[in-house]
């Protein structure tokens, strides 16, 4: 009888092999093989090309921008999650819910709206001019791209942090306070270590999309901030170099999956001895 049930998953196995496994094998194929004079030969040429300074530079820029935005998300998001999980507000769920609601509006439109705000004659500068303050030109710079990333991925940071913080056992904090720890010590020794799993998953959920985006840099970077995502998109949509595009995707995928492995390992190890 029990055996019968495993039949249920057969359609999925077929689907999984056709639409998950084979496509990834195709990426591998395009990245490592090329057709030359009607024969197919193995080549590392495309992988090697990635290590040319110009592509490395693009890659490093993507990492740097993503790290900065993730850090900003953490700095803004942690206090927010902390406040929301605390006793300041009555309707916590509703407020948390309002953090997620913007994601229901198309992200391209929301990002595009920043253009209207940040432009030379945009809303921000009109307000600044009205207040007789110097105007700012941050659109089409790296700052604008970082702002776009922070804006888009902040909810991904707040959500896991809130979940962890709101489930925290209040008795632990009380106990620490009773034992004479001051607020800062309580935070450093109790609250923060306990919230680490949330921090880790928040960082993962923010960093991963930030490092692979190509839309935000296109919209807010004015074509001047080329990220790894832009590079891949360019290979498939403009340069028509599928081999190099696949090689780039392969490298990106390997790096992301490896770092995920490390992250989840870390999370699992931490679960046991979470107190320290």
Site for another protein in 114-143 (CB under 8 A): 114-117, 119-123, 137, 139-140
Q: What angle do CA 123, 125, 126 make, to 5 degrees?
A: 65
The answer to whether 208 contacts another protein (rule: CB under 8 A) is yes
What is the footprint of another protein within residues 41-80 (CB under 8 A)? 54, 57-58, 61, 76, 79-80
Could you say whether residue 231 binds another protein (CB under 8 A)? yes
For residue 257, state whether it binds another protein (rule: CB under 8 A). yes
Rounded CA-CA distance 242/249 in Å is 10
Of all helices (H) and strands (E), which one includes residue 237? helix 228-237
Q: Which two tokens stand for residue 43?
A: 């080549």
User: Is 11 a binder of another protein (CB under 8 A)?
Assistant: yes
x-marked contacts with another protein along 87-106 as a string, rule CB under 8 A: -xx---xxx-xxx-xxxxxx
Provide the CA 125 distance to its chain's centre, in angstroms: 29
- Most distant CA atoms of the chain, gap in Å: 79
Instruction: Give the binding range for another protein (CB under 8 A) out of 64-72, 86-94, 163-171, 174-182.
Output: 86-94
Residue keyed to tokens 């055996």? 3
* Dist. CA 269–CA 271, nearest whole Å: 6
Contact flag: residue 245 with another protein (CB under 8 A): yes
Cα 252 to Cα 265: distance, rounded to the nearest angstrom: 20
> How many of the other CB atoms lie within 10 Å of CB of 238?
8
Strand pairing category for 39-42 and 33-36: antiparallel
For 36, phi and psi rounded to 5 degrees?
A: -135, 125
Site for another protein in 161-200 (CB under 8 A): none
- Report, in Å, the least distance between residue 241 CB and another protein: 8
**Contact with another protein (CB under 8 A) among 70, 159, 203, 233:** 233
HSE value, Cβ hemisphere, 13 Å, CA-based, for 121: 0
- Least separation, in Å, of the C-beta of 275 and another protein? 25
- Only one of the segments 33-41, 67-75, 167-175, 247-255 lies at the binding site for another protein (rule: CB under 8 A); that segment is 247-255
Read off the tokens for 147.
Answer: 């702002």
Interface with another protein (CB under 8 A), residue from 33, 63, 112, 200: 112
Using CB under 8 A, which of the segments 64-72, 161-169, 186-194, 213-221 binds another protein? 213-221
Closest separation between CB of residue 276 and another protein, Å? 28
| Candidate segments 32-40, 161-169, 172-180, 214-222, binder of another protein by CB under 8 A | 214-222
Q: Which is nearer to another protein, 220 or 276 (CB)?
A: 220
Sign of CA dihedral 235, 237, 239, 240: positive
Q: Is 149 in the site for another protein (CB under 8 A)?
A: no
């Amino acid at each position: 009888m029990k055996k019968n049930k495993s039949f249920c998953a057969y359609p999925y196995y077929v689907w999984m092999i056709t639409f998950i496994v084979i496509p990834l094998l195709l990426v591998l194929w395009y990245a490592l093989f090329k057709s030359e004079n009607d024969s197919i030969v193995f080549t590392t040429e495309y992988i090697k090309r990635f290590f040319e300074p110009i592509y490395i530079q693009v890659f490093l820029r993507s990492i740097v921008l993503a790290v900065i935005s993730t850090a900003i998300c953490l700095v803004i998001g942690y206090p927010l999650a902390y406040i929301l999980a605390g006793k300041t507000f009555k309707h916590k769920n509703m407020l948390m819910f309002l953090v997620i609601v913007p994601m229901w509006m198309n992200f391209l439109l929301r990002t595009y709206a920043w253009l209207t705000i940040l432009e030379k004659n945009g809303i921000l500068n009109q307000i600044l001019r009205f207040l007789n303050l110097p105007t700012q030109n941050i659109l089409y710079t790296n700052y604008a791209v970082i702002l776009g990333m922070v804006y888009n991925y902040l909810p991904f940071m707040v959500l896991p942090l809130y979940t962890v913080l709101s489930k925290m056992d209040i008795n632990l904090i009380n106990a620490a306070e009773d034992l004479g720890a001051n607020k800062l010590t309580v935070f450093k020794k109790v609250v923060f270590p306990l919230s680490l799993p949330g921090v880790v998953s928040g960082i993962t959920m923010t960093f991963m999309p930030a490092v692979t985006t190509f839309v935000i840099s296109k919209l807010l970077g004015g074509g001047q901030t080329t990220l790894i995502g832009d590079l891949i998109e360019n290979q498939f949509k403009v340069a028509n170099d599928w081999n190099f595009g696949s090689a780039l995707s392969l490298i990106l995928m390997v790096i992301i999956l490896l770092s995920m492995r490390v992250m989840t390992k870390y999370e699992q190890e931490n679960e046991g001895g979470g107190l320290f």
